[in-house]
Structure 1
Amino acid sequence: MLVERPLTNLAPASQQPSDAFKLTNEQGFEWSLSFLTPTIYKITVVGPNHPLPQQSNVHWSNKPLAVSAKVDTGAQKATLSVDGLAHEVTVQFDDTPIVEIHETVEGSNDKVRIFGDNPHKSYCYSETGVTRYTRFNNQNLHIGMGEKAAPLDLTHRSFCISGSDSASYDAYRTDPLYKHTPFLMSLPKPFDADGEPQPLTSVVGIYSASNSDANWDVGRFIDEPWGMFKKYAQHYGGLEEYIILGEQAQQVVTQFSDLVGRPLLVPRDWLGYLASGMGLGESDVPIAQELLSGFPGTCKQHDIPCSAIHLSSGYTVDGEGNRLVFTMNTRRYPDFAELVKTFHKAGIRVTPNIKPYVAQAHPHYQKLYDAGALFTDPNNGNKPVVTRIWSSGIGCTALGSWVDLTSKAGREWWRQGALELCKLGVDSLWNDNNEFLLFDDAFICKNELDGDAKVDGNRTGKPTPVGALGRMTNTELMARESHQALVTQHPDRRPFVLTRSANVGTQKWAASTWSGDNRTSWHNLRGSIAMGLNAQMSLMQSYGNDIGGFAGPLPSPELFVRWIQSGITQPRFCIHSFKPCKEDPTGVKLNNLPWMYPEVVDIIRTTIKRRYELLPFINNLNWRSHLAAEPMNTWLGWNEFAADPNVYSREVLEGFDYWIGHGQLLVAGAYHENELTRRVYLPAAGKEDTKVYYDTHSPFKVYKSGQWVENVSTPLSHFAVFAREGTVVPVGLGKVTITQNEGPATITCSGTKILTEQEGGQCVYDDWRGIEVFPSPVDAKSPSEYTYSWIEDDGVSAKPAVAEFKVDISSSQDEVSVKASATKSDFKPLWGNTLWVILPRADTRKVQGASKTMLYKGQTAYAITVSGL
């Protein structure tokens, strides 16, 4: 049984440094509060057998601000201040330490507590770990924690902060899933417990910087004598916690990224349709390479643009069915490098699957064993840990060992194996099955860390129980070595590592992730929406799920269409599965493929092409994520829409609608069988919001903000999308496009030139650009003026030149004025200086000063000239 002991009898240190307020006790524990900025606070607790967590997640290098403490010795209370502090921060220390943060309510002198430690039981320690109790406001909305099961609101729920190989999980019930993200945000609502309006106060985020497993309870656990509380129980080590304040949730997320790093910039090609080769890649008759070589031609035959192929681990399978990482089944793949070139000619990038364990049948197993590159068991003579791992096929296990990537030998072996794959011309590395779910915390890892993984000499360097270090330190190191292999082989190109599992530190190396091995069902499609929103709001901003479901039965044609429709509006659009239940006429097992249902292939083709049309818009959102940590998808109450009380209704919070591009496009998909109409809420940004929403599929329908819309049409042919007034959507061609006439965008990692359609290939040059513009409507009494900007680059380079464009929009009853300029032009887009303006379909106004027109999807588009190019 876990025994918790409250941290008590603390007193101010006799010699307080100027950069922190510290309390100590006779047991040898030290509690400390420092201010990294006026809105980022750091709390640490260290003591006997409770060192600070060993981690490289936080990379903050600036010195803390100088702290002034006004101590009331009688009340045993300190009031702290630093330059720029807008909140009242106090520390009570007559019992356990109690931090409270108050802010002044706008328009009054009233102060409200926005954060507080739980009285009498705020900080507790166990034999190995620490538990935090903070006040719980059950009226607040709680979001974040990375990848957690639906619904969106985490209130009154509890979670395991760990990673597991959660194959075929339930998107509403399974916990944990694949990620380790101890980051929680508490968002106030614009009304009190009685439903009366109240001013919004600051959003509060809490991040606990440890890779150790933990449990987060968000008001589910009740122990009446101690009041209402949230509980964070970290299994090992002392506490390193960051409290982050922001007027809106985005400010908290951006500051979180200041601590741990911005999301990496995803190469443009990985924003298109990403295909799966698993069913083809496992084939022996015909051989996999023969089948996969025909994939680009099949895409061309069905007129389906495709940007990348995932080569599952079938290329490593030996004659006994064992998956042996970094080996090659030369019977299935007689010339792997030539296969890569075949894909590259078609403009399809390649990412092979790699797994961080070795079966005992692996030719390097004994070498790794002898080098000390495997985890060891102190209860079994320090022999390497042998466990059962997925190796011989779905549902089968084989004996083997996880590679200890905290060991120098393990990292060197992994780095070399990854580099050899890169030398074959692959564009990316796909880190899979990397949860390192060793079943005993006492197993030992070498902890021989170096470079970016090393924190300091006091926290690294000697063998450590894997529970204390944190299993996912290995996940991070695996991503680092894969990243470095790509950088070594292709130094001028933007590295792209895809990872299934992740701790917070992994995002420094892996640009993208996904929701793991989901299961086909309408239920799981619905649950995936909330999973993706919480993940993106926790800095996993290139996130998606396996379209159509990885495990389980094949999706029905309707379910497949609806999943694809949802997928094209998410950061990562990948149709991937293992579906050994449908065969083509040759007897080859197939997985989810866009053309597998002829009766709906036209809808799917149109939908995927719409993804490619949206790539300039999505690429700009990718840039916004990288520069400012802005998620591509957010819930309907994000930022200024938090003031709308209706977004907190159960129907919205447990619904499935979201923004793509905050405040721009509202996506309202169909997530139930035979759902041909929808009820949709259009949020308002405050009481004075007069903006309208355009139903992009019903050209004569325009709606005011802050209302429910009934009977929104969602036929199988399309989902519903509402464009908020002022929205501008840059669009391109519905094909795989090449952004340069020459240079890195035309030559792949194998040195192969991408072939255009004119050369018999499947790609075209990115030589046309439009903007879909949604101005004030014709009948607006006071038309508003709007400005929008976006970024373009070659999508490939590690240090890209960029072009930045701005459009200014105004309107009258007769015409719309759109003025475009290049505010930065280091990158020269192939579309030159001609920009085509596309108004809503029912809008018959002309564009002022247009030089020419063209027919675009049955409506008139107007050409304007971009100045400054």
Structure 2
Amino acid sequence: MPIVERELDGFTLPTSSPKSGSLIKSFELRTASEKGRFKNFVYTLSFPLPNVYRILLIGPDRPRPPHDNVVLADKPLEFKLTSLDQAKCSATFDFPTSGSDELDGSGRKRELELTWKEHIRLYVYEHIGKEKVRILGDLPNRSYALTEKGIMRHWWIEADNLHLGLGEKAAPLDLSNRSFTNHGSDSAAYDAYNTDPLYKHTPYLISTPKPTKEGEELVSTYAIYHPTNSGGIWDVRRLHDDPWGFFKAYTQDYGGLEEWVLVGKGVKEVVRTFAEIVGKPRLVGRDWLGYLASGMGLGESDHPIAQELLSTWPDLCKKHDIPCSAMHLSSGYTVDKTNGNRYVFTMNTKRYPDFKGMVAHFHKTGIKVVPNIKPYALQTHPHYKRLESADALFRDPVIDEPVVTRIWSSGVGDNEKGSWVDMTSEEGRKWWAEGVKSLIDLGCDGMWDDNNEFYLHDDEFVSQTSFPHEISSPIEGKATVGLLGRMINTELMNYVSHSTLEKVHPDRRTYVLTRSGNVGTFKYANSTWSGDNWTSWHNLRGSQAIQLNAGMSLMQSYGSDIGGFGGPLPSPEMFVRWVQLGVTHSRFCIHSFKPDKEDSSGAAQTNTPWMYPEVLPIIRETIKWRYEYLPFFNHLMWLSHKEALPSTAWLGYGPFASDPVLYTPEILEGFDAWLGIGSILVCPALFEGQLTREVYFPKGGQDDESLYFDLHAPYGRYRAGSRKTIATPLEHFGLFAREGAVIPVGKNYATVTQQEGPSRTTPDGVDVQLENEGGLVGLDDWRGIRIFPSTSGKTFEGQWVEDDGISAKPSKTIIKIVYTGKEDEVEVKVSFVENGFQTLWGKQLDVLLPVGDERKIKGAKEGVKDGKKIWTVSIA
């Protein structure tokens, strides 16, 4: 859509206006003009939270965007109108103070300055000592403009700030000096540094100042969030126009403006505030944190049939000693036997003569099953006429017929005519729920909602506006795709998948994996990934920055297709490095489709852990490392769910935000990250032939002299703020635990948390077979705890969460450990903070000191497990 920018001006106060010094819940301006395009526009300012203000700008043909991307109750807070000068058309306001420390933590006074004599202009100030410093502000005389059917916003730009967020955006991490499209696309074979958009729609931009020296006091971080589902563009200091110079701008294609501005002491506080507004990440089940396999090549086979090939998977895992937690079934099970097209919610009984029996076979070995489902129907789909007659397809108003477009149908690049199913229609959702229920009845554990970008190619197409729950600014009758936004359908697709799973198995945690999504999607889907990436070292490197910005955008069970989805096979070295990076991400899945035309089974070039025998020992050890640290990942998912903390985080997150080195180009354009903020520093090797590399060890404050312990090289100790060249042989990547870390570990293979119960028995009634019964899984009946004490006598404290990993409303146990390191011994005290879930390991913990640490643990029993020295302690 061409941008025709028309400046929006001429506002005035309503007849009855508040007085200076009064407490108000909103401040309103209206357009002075009584004719033309600016008639009856209303600007409203309010505070939903003490550190958040909201602007609504709506007019007769610019309604408030319809959405349900906000979960915060609409209960505006009182704030003080400190001054009002009607002659000068200006007012100032204090931020509310009640409760601000909880989400903000700065304790600073903040105020807004609003003027409207010629154009609306809003500035935000913060008092730092005796100074009054501007945090952000509108571009003077150009703050708001109308486009053809939407709104355009302009702000002055902080040239030295770091910009983050926007969901799933291409590398590098810093989004400054670039432009980004706000909607999702099927971006198969994308370039991880250049392609935009990718698959998600997240109009939420963070701006944080960069320290230039240690101990520097900085202004607060802020984020701007637009909850609309309409498409748009964010320009982050890419545009330049005299007399304004450089600026940042947001263009929204349709509707009026709803804008939330979040202010906090740092990125961590702003992300937590964002979660309070839109909802915290859903809790992911424990079994979805292990190795997630994909059988796309296997599932597409006719000779031998796919079911026979897939059923060999557990035996292959056992043969190669590779633990596995879940199998993703591609849409090959829906391929029509006669024409090769994919018809969602149908079954190819030739390839899968006993689908339910195959699922039960996987369940017996402890492997969950999640099938691929797609929200469209080809015109030859057996359900197409039903959907068409029920008005459950998008319509073209020009010809008053269903929208028909080209949709992926069979092989790579193949497409046929078909239609997207309108999830805003009651009949569309009913059909989807019936299909999901049919797969649940066959034993499936979750749903893989795929190909769901709803990339309709005309904003003037129309759809129904029937919603299963309340939304803001509901619309009667039909509405255009442009105003509703394409991905409100993605959200509703995930909503139906989630609610159907929940209805059938109310006691179990739902699992919905989605490729696309808007902000509201993640109320229902609890996992996602970066889509159909292309195999290359370049894209491997770029995947890390995408991961980090996605995590700060609350996509915190996230990963990439290990080894690359499309393109050539990765080399053995590249595959090893991709697996090594992938096991540090919250979602670890090896997924690809690399067909070999010379192999009729289609299986030969699917990425598998054992595809290169020469590196299989390294791959095996790396995947087993993931399982050993599974209790830690489970705890990190609890932190994500409760506190919105990303498990894989940017180095400058939280207490490390004041380290100026972390804002230098070499670090921002690098690939290091936290696994658990302040716990493990991950330093991957992502260049071909990279056998050494330099590492910088972040500081958590000006006086921080903490140690970092090398988890690979015995006796390796490095001081915070130092640099070190480390070895990165093919056998391992760089991992460093920070002094004071508390890291729970378990067995290095798949386990269940209960002898009896939902962890042991799958939804279809199949009991998981344990290793002593010939199965692939064991009991989670041993817990180790890795601690990292210095010799200075400093005391550290940490805790972690245990639960069954599967219940919808889980009981949990929280264990606290306090430890002090002295020259000749370490003192350790462990206690229950909460003891609601009865773990299989009871009240005994084995404490592991860093490799090479020969000190005793006071009062503990010394022993050896798997060749490692342990110290057994009892929980008080």
Partners in 2 of 1:461 and 1:273 — Cα distance? 46
| 1:189-221 alpha-carbon deviations (Å, 9 max, x no partner) | 112xxx898422211011001000010000001
1:837 equivalent in structure 2: 847
Residue 245, structure 1, aligned to residue 263, structure 2:
yes
2:825 equivalent in structure 1: 815
Q: 1:588 deviation in Å?
A: 4.2
Q: Residue 297 of structure 2 contacts residue 602 of structure 2 at CA under 8 Å; is this kept in 1?
A: no
Secondary structure of the residue that 2:805 maps to in structure 1?
Answer: coil
1:100 equivalent in structure 2: 123
2:467 equivalent in structure 1: 449
Which of 828, 850, 859 is the matching residue for 2:868?
A: 859
Alignment CA distance shift 1:170-1:15 (3 Å): same
Partners in 2 of 1:187 and 1:759 — Cα distance? 55
Partners in 2 of 1:98 and 1:356 — Cα distance? 44
Residue 668, structure 1, aligned to residue 668, structure 2:
no
Secondary structure of the residue that 2:807 maps to in structure 1?
Answer: coil
Range moving further from structure 2, 660-669 or 583-592: 583-592
Partners in 2 of 1:843 and 1:53 — Cα distance? 60
Residue 185, structure 1, aligned to residue 203, structure 2:
no
Q: 1:566 deviation in Å?
A: 0.5
Partners in 1 of 2:16 and 2:326 — Cα distance? 60
Partners in 2 of 1:487 and 1:583 — Cα distance? 44
Partners in 1 of 2:825 and 2:467 — Cα distance? 64
**Aligned counterparts, 1:164-563, within 5 A:** 164-191=185-212, 198-318=216-336, 319-380=338-399, 382-451=400-469, 454-455=470-471, 458-563=473-578
Which of 111, 118, 125 is the matching residue for 1:88?
A: 111
Q: Residue 582 of structure 1 contacts residue 591 of structure 1 at CA under 8 Å; is this kept in 2?
A: no
Partners in 2 of 1:57 and 1:2 — Cα distance? 26
Q: Residue 596 of structure 2 contacts residue 603 of structure 2 at CA under 8 Å; is this kept in 1?
A: no
Q: 1:783 deviation in Å?
A: 2.8
1:28 equivalent in structure 2: 40
2:105 equivalent in structure 1: none
Q: 1:582 deviation in Å?
A: 8.3
1:51 equivalent in structure 2: 63
Q: Residue 95 of structure 2 contacts residue 112 of structure 2 at CA under 8 Å; is this kept in 1?
A: no
Indicate the percent of aligned positions where both proteins have the same amino acid: 53
Alignment CA distance shift 1:413-1:799 (3 Å): same
1:828 equivalent in structure 2: 838
Partners in 2 of 1:484 and 1:123 — Cα distance? 40
Q: Residue 95 of structure 2 contacts residue 110 of structure 2 at CA under 8 Å; is this kept in 1?
A: no
Alignment CA distance shift 1:12-1:585 (3 Å): closer
**Partner AA of 2:11 in structure 1:** L
Gaps in structure 1 of 5+ consecutive residues: none
Partners in 2 of 1:130 and 1:585 — Cα distance? 54
Partners in 2 of 1:433 and 1:500 — Cα distance? 7
**Partner AA of 1:743 in structure 2:** G
Which of 80, 90, 100 is the matching residue for 1:68?
A: 80
Partners in 2 of 1:606 and 1:584 — Cα distance? 30
| 1:139-165 alpha-carbon deviations (Å, 9 max, x no partner) | 000000000000000000100001000
Partners in 2 of 1:397 and 1:838 — Cα distance? 56
Which of 623, 627, 641 is the matching residue for 1:626?
A: 641
1:611 equivalent in structure 2: 626
2:700 equivalent in structure 1: 685
Partners in 1 of 2:598 and 2:290 — Cα distance? 27
| 1:532-578 alpha-carbon deviations (Å, 9 max, x no partner) | 00000000000000000000001011100100000111000000000
| 1:672-711 alpha-carbon deviations (Å, 9 max, x no partner) | 011011111111112210111111111222111112212x
1:748 equivalent in structure 2: 762
Which of 790, 811, 835 is the matching residue for 1:801?
A: 811
Q: Residue 553 of structure 1 contacts residue 581 of structure 1 at CA under 8 Å; is this kept in 2?
A: no
Q: Across the two proteins, how many residue pairs are aligned to each other?
A: 852
| 1:732-778 alpha-carbon deviations (Å, 9 max, x no partner) | 001110100101111002110000011111110000000111111x4
Partners in 2 of 1:241 and 1:294 — Cα distance? 53
1:7 equivalent in structure 2: 8
**Partner AA of 1:541 in structure 2:** Q
Partners in 1 of 2:113 and 2:775 — Cα distance? 67
2:102 equivalent in structure 1: none
Partners in 1 of 2:491 and 2:74 — Cα distance? 24
Range moving further from structure 2, 367-376 or 576-585: 576-585
| 1:339-392 alpha-carbon deviations (Å, 9 max, x no partner) | 100000010000000000001110011111111111110122x10011001112
Alignment CA distance shift 1:94-1:565 (3 Å): same
Range moving further from structure 2, 516-525 or 2-11: 2-11
Q: Residue 238 of structure 2 contacts residue 246 of structure 2 at CA under 8 Å; is this kept in 1?
A: no
Q: 1:655 deviation in Å?
A: 0.3
Partners in 2 of 1:525 and 1:33 — Cα distance? 44
Partners in 2 of 1:582 and 1:510 — Cα distance? 36
Alignment CA distance shift 1:588-1:630 (3 Å): closer
Partners in 1 of 2:753 and 2:812 — Cα distance? 12
**Partner AA of 2:46 in structure 1:** S
Partners in 2 of 1:369 and 1:523 — Cα distance? 44
Q: Residue 431 of structure 1 contacts residue 499 of structure 1 at CA under 8 Å; is this kept in 2?
A: yes
| 1:395-451 alpha-carbon deviations (Å, 9 max, x no partner) | 111111110111111111111111111111100100000000000011111112232
Partners in 1 of 2:587 and 2:865 — Cα distance? 31
Q: Residue 594 of structure 1 contacts residue 604 of structure 1 at CA under 8 Å; is this kept in 2?
A: yes
**Partner AA of 2:738 in structure 1:** R
Secondary structure of the residue that 1:478 maps to in structure 2?
Answer: helix
Which of 131, 150, 153 is the matching residue for 2:152?
A: 131
Range moving further from structure 2, 8-17 or 28-37: 8-17
Q: Residue 164 of structure 2 contacts residue 173 of structure 2 at CA under 8 Å; is this kept in 1?
A: yes
Partners in 2 of 1:19 and 1:814 — Cα distance? 61
| 1:203-242 alpha-carbon deviations (Å, 9 max, x no partner) | 1011001000010000001112123321000000001110
**Partner AA of 1:15 in structure 2:** S
Secondary structure of the residue that 2:690 maps to in structure 1?
Answer: coil
Which of 564, 588, 594 is the matching residue for 2:579?
A: 564
Partners in 1 of 2:145 and 2:112 — Cα distance? 21
Q: 1:486 deviation in Å?
A: 0.5
Alignment CA distance shift 1:55-1:246 (3 Å): same
Range moving further from structure 2, 420-429 or 225-234: 225-234
Q: Residue 582 of structure 1 contacts residue 589 of structure 1 at CA under 8 Å; is this kept in 2?
A: no
**Partner AA of 2:236 in structure 1:** V
Partners in 2 of 1:743 and 1:196 — Cα distance? 53
Q: 1:13 deviation in Å?
A: 2.1
| 1:479-536 alpha-carbon deviations (Å, 9 max, x no partner) | 0000011111111100010000000000000000000000000000000000000000
**Partner AA of 1:418 in structure 2:** V
**Partner AA of 1:22 in structure 2:** E
Q: Residue 862 of structure 2 contacts residue 869 of structure 2 at CA under 8 Å; is this kept in 1?
A: no
Secondary structure of the residue that 2:488 maps to in structure 1?
Answer: helix
Partners in 2 of 1:525 and 1:264 — Cα distance? 27
Which of 831, 846, 850 is the matching residue for 2:856?
A: 846
Q: Residue 551 of structure 1 contacts residue 578 of structure 1 at CA under 8 Å; is this kept in 2?
A: yes
Secondary structure of the residue that 1:862 maps to in structure 2?
Answer: strand
Q: Residue 553 of structure 1 contacts residue 579 of structure 1 at CA under 8 Å; is this kept in 2?
A: yes
Alignment CA distance shift 1:634-1:506 (3 Å): same
Partners in 1 of 2:812 and 2:448 — Cα distance? 28
Q: Residue 41 of structure 2 contacts residue 58 of structure 2 at CA under 8 Å; is this kept in 1?
A: yes
Scaled by the length of structure 2, the TM-score of the pair is 0.96
**Partner AA of 1:762 in structure 2:** L
Gaps in structure 2 of 5+ consecutive residues: 19-23, 34-38, 99-108
Q: 1:83 deviation in Å?
A: 3.8
